Amino acid sequence: MIRAVLLDRDGVLNVDHHYVNSPDRFQWIEGAPEAVHWLNEQGILVIVVTNQSGIGRGLYSMDAFERFSAWMDSLLAERGARIDAVYVCPHHPTDALPPYLVDCECRKPKPGMILQALREHDLRAEEAILIGDKDRDVAAAEAAGVKGIKYTEGNLLDLVQSALAAQQVSS
C-alpha cells in the first residue's frame, strides 16, 4: 500500500522556468494543487524532494527558498491542501560556491534525500512512489528502491491517480 508520494518540485508541481524562487516566476503545473489535495484526502503523505542548485550558485539563499516554499504552502492551504515535508539539495558538484561545491549524496540522481525522507517518515521503499520530470529523478528513486514515474506533460492529478491505481493492482 502506498503511504507517500514524493514529488520533484520544478517541472512537477510548478512550471520549470529555471531557478524559480519568487512569485513572479511561479506557475502551477496543470492539476498540481488538485493532486496534492487529493493525496491529502487519501491520507497519503506528500513529500517534495528537490535539487536547488540555484542556492549553491548564489542565485538565491536557503532563507529565500524557505520563504518561497512557505508562500507555495499558503497557496495550497487556500485550496485545502498541504505538503507534509520538503527535502532540498542546494549542492552542485562542479558549479557552485563554497560550501555548496560538493559531490553530495543528496543531489539527484543519488538517493540521499529519498532515503532520508523514508527514514524520517518510517516508510519502507515499497510504500512510496516518486514522480519527477527528469531521468535523474527516476534514477534516484530506483536507487532508493522506490518506484519512479516520469512526468512529461498533462494533468498531474490524472497521473497521480492512475499511478496509484496501477501500484495498488501490482501490490
Concerning whether 137 is annotated as a catalytic residue, the answer is no
- Which of these is catalytic: 10, 95, 133, 137? 10
* Whole-number Å distance between alpha carbons of 112 and 103: 12
Helix, strand, coil percent content, the chain, rounded in steps of 5? 40, 20, 40
Q: How many residues does the chain have?
A: 171
Q: Which pairing describes strands 128-132 and 147-150: parallel, antiparallel, or unpaired?
A: parallel
> CA–CA separation, 24 vs 86, rounded Å?
21
Q: The C-alpha cell of 63 is what?
A: 532563507
Is 10 catalytic? The answer is yes
- Active-site pick, 8, 16, 135, 158: 8
Active site residues: 8, 10
